[in-house]
Amino acid sequence: MNTVHQLSSAIDTKQPLPIQFIADAAGYSMASVAQALDSMETSFLQYAPWKDSYPYQPVVSFSIAYSQSAIYIKFNVKERYVRAAATEINGPVWQDSCVEFFISFDGKYYYNFEFNCTGTALVGYGSSKTERRLLPAPLIQTIGTYCLIQNKSGDENKYWELTLRIPMQVFLHSSIDNLKGRQCLANFYKCGDLLPEPHFICWKNVDSAEPNFHLLHCFGILDFK
């Protein structure tokens, strides 16, 4: 099966999430981007596929938009514990309070963007969890981030948000210069492997006996209007 047919077959069976086009925000601060994304439609990470083993489920939502030059995502998280031990690019951010965005343009290979709550990133590309290569650190450094962590009086939970600007040049292994009119496979996740209450939740459900976010056939669809 060729990759075009793989992608078309997956898209035919799922309801796309429409992604709004916005004016290029390259000249704006990331704080301004975060504010702009607050007006976008919000989606929730509602699935906890392994809740029998990992019952804790933080509240996580995201909004997403795109421009000529980048994808913009804002995650909002409410959870009991916050951890941010990874400080180096391509370090073990999944062990921290971590949000993730996976996207495929051809239905065969995909990029995994993983960030802890302070914006430290790991980015890879490949066809499966074991068949991947990490992107070079200088390229990952072009991703814009804006983070905010809050404690609210009388509330045991921590509230944090992370806004991302992923420029098109980060998609190093794909011939993508404009997303307008495209439909892509994607999923959004939250994890925290070394938190006091480990958890694994997602936007689209994952069909696997053990925690594994790297299952392309479980991705949903993004429709870049």
The C-alpha atoms of residue 28 and residue 18 are separated, in whole angstroms, by 24
| Non-local CB neighbours of 42 within 8 Å, separated by 6+ positions | 61, 62, 63, 76
Which pLDDT score is estimated for 101?
98
Single pTM value for the model: 0.92
Q: Closest Cα partner for 93 from 218, 213, 222, 204?
A: 213
Question: What is the domain range of residue 152?
Answer: 3-224
Mean pLDDT across the stretch 104-118?
A: 98
- Match 């709004």 to its residue by tokens: 20
Mean pLDDT score, 114-138: 97
Q: What angle do CA 212, 81, 160 make, to 5 degrees?
A: 90
DSSP-assigned letters across all residues of 28-67: S-HHHHHHHHTTS--EE--B-TTTTT-----EEEEEEEE-
Is the per-residue pLDDT at 7 higher than 60? no
Query: Is residue 9 pLDDT above 50, yes or no?
Result: no
CB-based burial, 63-102: b 16+ in 10 Å, e otherwise: bbbbbebbbbbbbbbebeebbbebeebbbbbbbbbbbbbb
| Percentage of residues of the chain with pLDDT beyond 90 | 86
Strands 220-224 vs 17-21: parallel, antiparallel or unpaired: parallel
Contact 158, 147 (CB under 8 A): no
Q: What pLDDT does residue 3 have?
A: 41
Instruction: Please say whether the beta carbons of 88 and 178 come within 8 A.
Output: no
Q: Residues 139-162: what's their mean pLDDT? A: 93
Residue with tokens 């963007």: 113
Residue 184: pLDDT band with limits 50, 70, 90? very high
Q: Which of 187, 189, 179 is nearest to 223 (CA)?
A: 179
Work out how many domains the chain is built from and give that number: 1
Tell me: the pLDDT tens digits for 156-174?
Answer: 999 999 999 999 999 999 9
> pLDDT, tens digit, for every residue of 90-99?
999 999 999 9
Give the model's pLDDT for residue 140. Answer: 98
CATH number of the domain to which 12 belongs: 2.60.40.1190
